[in-house]
Amino acid sequence: MKIPINKNILNDVELFSDSLLKRKADLQIIIDESLQNNFDAKFEELTFTGKYVQGLKRVLQKGGEFQEIDNLDHVNKDLTENMEKVIGDIRALLIHSSETNIKYFEDSYLSLTPNCFQNLNDLLEDLEWVKKYLNYQKHSDKN
């Protein structure tokens, strides 16, 4: 069963995670644009990729502790490809947004600067929580 994305989902995610989202206001802009343009599936794909990227980053941080990982080069390549996918997905979700929003996201998340990279990492953490919440809702609706 598909869990509908709604305007107030981030409040539910914060209750579920028992913590505050780091980039809630900006994530709300992405959700609003997704709802307005019927991009629900694209948004869910973004949450999936965000959660996947977070998992890849954890693998790289643990690195040598995982015996089953022979070559971290493959993980690095996968991480790079999926970071590019996240950036492309954000741009696609904001395609009909105001020029102000587009410029803000380009300057805050999508440019190749250390500050943007940190902001994007914070946003990815939030997206991971959204995906965990959506997964929880899907499984709890089956019971």
End-to-end CA distance of the chain: 12
Say how far residue 141 (Cα) sits from the centre of its chain.
Answer: 23
Q: Report the 10 Å Cβ neighbour count for 85.
A: 16
- 40 domain-assigned: yes
Q: What is the pLDDT of residues 124-139, one digit of tens each?
A: 999 999 999 999 988 8
- 31 and 7 Cβ atoms separated by less than 8 Å: yes
Measured CA to CA in angstroms, residue 60 lies from 15, 25, 47, 103, 115 at distances of 29, 29, 20, 31, 21
**Residues 6, 138: Cα–Cα separation, whole Å:** 15
Residue 84 lies in a domain: yes
3 within domain boundaries = no
Of all residues in the chain, the percent with pLDDT exceeding 90 is 76
Domain count, the chain: 1
Please check the confidence at residue 1 and state whether its pLDDT lies above 50: no
Contact 136, 24 (CB under 8 A): no
In a domain, 17, yes or no: no
Residue 101 has pLDDT above 90, yes or no: yes
Q: Is the pLDDT of residue 73 over 90?
A: no
Whether residue 7 is contained in a domain is answered as no
DSSP 19: S
Q: Over the stretch 42-57, which tens digit does the pLDDT of each residue have? A: 999 999 999 999 999 9
Task: Cite the beta strand spans of 30-98 per DSSP E.
Answer: none
Q: Is residue 10 part of a domain?
A: no
Q: Kindly report the CA angle at 46 between 26 and 5, in degrees rounded to 5?
A: 70
